[in-house]
Amino acid sequence: MVPSAAQNVSIRTGRDLLDLAMDILAQSYGRALEYARTVVEDGIGDVAVVFIDGEPVGAEIFYSIKLAAELCVHYYVGILEAYRGRGLGKLLVKTVESTCGADAYAATTTEDNTAAKALFSSLGYKGYKWGELKRRTRDVLLKATCGYDDDMIYLKGLPPDALAASPGEAEGFGRRECYLVWLRLRRVF
């Protein structure tokens, strides 16, 4: 379903929208969002927020990383519950794809997240369980996406082995944006 013509739908991007996006995402995710905040505050990630009639109703945190090709990662995507099923998630993801202009796109999720699976499948993404991938491919993509708590990766643009043929920036990114944040959340340092 698409929002009615009577509703003014717009999407804005920019790091200045981080706090607004975090408020929206906090309502959609029951887990720590510190990873999302860190990737934006470190100057790697960006923010997109969808508005209806000037009210923020959805948000996405995304970033690009160089592997064998440029990969745009849909890191966190959330639409407020009252606005789901209206095509806003698709609009948000398509806008981010256009903004990134990458060679490939990825999103990780849990196997039981039927909404995410439906969203990304409807946009031409192919789902892979982490266990289906070659170990080297899985390691590169896990570091590039911080998808350790998820069961699956959805990819568009390139197959997993081609995308992970070169680890590119995955090692450094995985350490800074995944592992060190994980340690901080556990108050290890």
pLDDT digit string (tens) for 85-120?
999 999 999 999 999 999 999 999 999 999 999 999
Q: How far apart are CA 188 and CA 178, in angstroms?
A: 14
> What per-residue confidence (pLDDT) applies to 1?
47
Prediction pTM value: 0.93
State which H helix or E strand residue 129 sits in.
strand 126-129
> What per-residue confidence (pLDDT) applies to 189?
54
> What per-residue confidence (pLDDT) applies to 187?
76
Q: How far apart are CA 155 and CA 125, in angstroms?
A: 5
Q: How far apart are CA 10 and CA 32, in angstroms?
A: 27
Q: Collapsing DSSP states into helix, strand and coil, what is residue 161?
A: helix
Q: How far apart are CA 32 and CA 186, in angstroms?
A: 11
User: In b/e form, how buried is each residue of 69-106, taking b as 16+ CB within 10 angstroms?
Assistant: bbbbbbbbbbbbeebbebbbbebbbebbbebbebbbbb
Residues lower than pLDDT 70 in the chain: 1-6, 30-32, 188-189
> What per-residue confidence (pLDDT) applies to 46?
98
